[in-house]
Structure 1
Amino acid sequence: MIGVVIPAHNEENHIHQCVISIIEAANHPGLNGMPVRLVVVLDACTDATEGLAASEGVMVLNVHYRNVGKARAAGAELLLDLGVGWLAFTDADTLVPPDWLVRQIEANADAVCGVVEVDSWRGYGDRVREHYLSLYQFKDEHRHVHGANLGVSAQAYRRAGGFQPLPSHEDVRLVADLESTGARIAWTSSNPVITSARRDYKCREGFGEYLTNLAISLCSSPSALESSHPVNVQGAEP
């Protein structure tokens, strides 16, 4: 059985489409009927996120952490207790492709780190988009880590100690812990997800803030970025 965890804090504008995309991935014929359980972890939500998620028949879990590491861990523990053998993680403002889960399973690895595509560069402009793309490694064997596109076996997750209670970079820490245990990690570009470039990001030091800071730096001091190194490890927002 596969488990999918979506942490969410007031995501009424995004959660429905995210859930729909995961339901489509869960019904992919390539899974050969393997059951998929999806949980939306509602972290201190005060808007309509719960109702929108529940309307699609998925599980919801209410917590009050305001901490993405704790939220992801809570969702993972719930699914592990239900007996899932594989955990997949994404974000509430993200759309996964129909073969997302199939490709994670077919990677035959202890964990899968996928890449992301930005839904729209409106508000940033071509200059920021081109610079971002020049830094991003959209290829196999990349070294990006995104909580929006991550999968791990239940055994490897437990062995690594799971998500730590971090307010940001919890995904980066988990992958580092997986590597320290000798886990086989597939760094693939074959299953990209589409994530939001919105400026009203919910997690400090996540993907949204990275894009915002990139735009600010580029506009204020273009020469400062000419020697920038490619982004090696990137956290993601909840």
Structure 2
Amino acid sequence: MKIGIVIPAHNEEQYLPTCLQSVQRAIQELRDYHVEVLVVLDSCMDQSRSIVQEYQVNWIECNYACVGKARDLGIRYLITQGVTWIACTDADSHVNPDWLVCQMQHQPTDAICGIVMLDDFSHLSMLKKQRYLSHYQDQMNHQHIHGANLSFTVDAYIQAGGFEPTPCHEDVLLIQKFIKQYCHITWSNLVRVTTSSRLIARAPQGLSHFLNEL
């Protein structure tokens, strides 16, 4: 199995170094697998490209301002490089050291929906924190879907037609297509990612929107 990691980034210079460090550590924890990392720089006007170059990670650029199109672009590029398993995360997130190890432990499966943890609760009101914790299921067989922690086989992705070219909810739409084509989906809380709890969104109606609406 050849693994491809896709990281879309839109002006993420603040978070990108931590993201790339965590991904590199996760790769080091994995044995006997070839892993390709690709950052998709989407309409970046900051220092994101310089950071990616500093970490010697492969990158491509686009001007979509659309996370669904950016993810799909990166995945289809990695498919041409021969990857058979795709792992998605986001530039404002950092993965656990055993992120890839746990994905391999869940094989065989068509897709894995992992969970995300918020990096900081301090700027959230007590009510927002309580509502979030009461909503979120940190357990196996949860039903949460996050583009920041989503992985799948290339075969399932191609059969589903890929991510929809939408600025949000591309992750949910993909899983819905997987379900319709009877893919085996693993809902795991062992595959873990920590993500930004910022309230100013990059993607409309994403996690920031959810936090604001609590």
Q: Distance in 2 between matches of 1:175 and 1:44?
A: 26
Q: Distance in 1 between matches of 2:213 and 2:82?
A: 41
Q: Distance in 1 between matches of 2:7 and 2:50?
A: 15
The question of whether the paired residues in 2 share the 8 Å contact of 1:168 and 1:203 is answered with yes
Q: Distance in 2 between matches of 1:187 and 1:11?
A: 28
Q: Does 1:88 align with 2:87?
A: yes
The question of whether the paired residues in 2 share the 8 Å contact of 1:10 and 1:45 is answered with yes
The question of whether the paired residues in 2 share the 8 Å contact of 1:27 and 1:33 is answered with no
What residue number does 2:166 align with? 166
Gaps of 5+ in 1: 215-238
Q: Distance in 1 between matches of 2:6 and 2:85?
A: 11
Q: Distance in 2 between matches of 1:12 and 1:74?
A: 21
What residue number does 2:23 align with? 22
Which secondary structure state, in structure 1, belongs to the residue aligned with residue 52 of structure 2? helix
Which 4+ residue blocks in structure 1 deviate beyond 6 angstroms? none
> What's the CA shift for 1:153?
0.7
Aligned length, in residue pairs: 212
Deviations 1:129-161 (A, max 9, x none): 111111111111111100010000111111111
Q: Distance in 1 between matches of 2:55 and 2:111?
A: 28
Structure with the higher strand share, 1 or 2: 2
What residue number does 2:71 align with? 72
Q: Does 1:8 align with 2:9?
A: yes
> What's the CA shift for 1:122?
1.9
TM-score by length of 2: 0.97
What residue number does 1:233 align with? none
Q: Does 1:124 align with 2:124?
A: yes
What residue number does 2:153 align with? 153
User: Which one-letter code corresponds to 2:178 in the other structure?
Assistant: L
Q: Over the residues paired in the alignment, what is the CA RMSD in angstroms?
A: 0.9
* Equivalent runs, 1:125-144 vs 2, <5 Å: 125-144=125-144
What residue number does 1:35 align with? 34
The question of whether the paired residues in 2 share the 8 Å contact of 1:111 and 1:150 is answered with yes
Q: Which one is further off, 9-18 or 97-106? A: 97-106
> What's the CA shift for 1:74?
0.3
Q: Distance in 2 between matches of 1:127 and 1:142?
A: 23
Which secondary structure state, in structure 1, belongs to the residue aligned with residue 147 of structure 2? coil
TM-score by length of 1: 0.87
User: Which one-letter code corresponds to 1:128 in the other structure?
Assistant: K
* Equivalent runs, 1:169-208 vs 2, <5 Å: 169-208=169-208
Which secondary structure state, in structure 2, belongs to the residue aligned with residue 194 of structure 1? strand
What residue number does 1:107 align with? 106
Q: Distance in 1 between matches of 2:160 and 2:53?
A: 31
> What's the CA shift for 1:127?
2.2
% identity of equivalent residues? 40
> What's the CA shift for 1:106?
1.6
User: Which one-letter code corresponds to 2:69 in the other structure?
Assistant: K
Q: Which has the larger radius of gyration?
A: 1
Deviations 1:164-208 (A, max 9, x none): 101110000000111111110000111221001002220000011
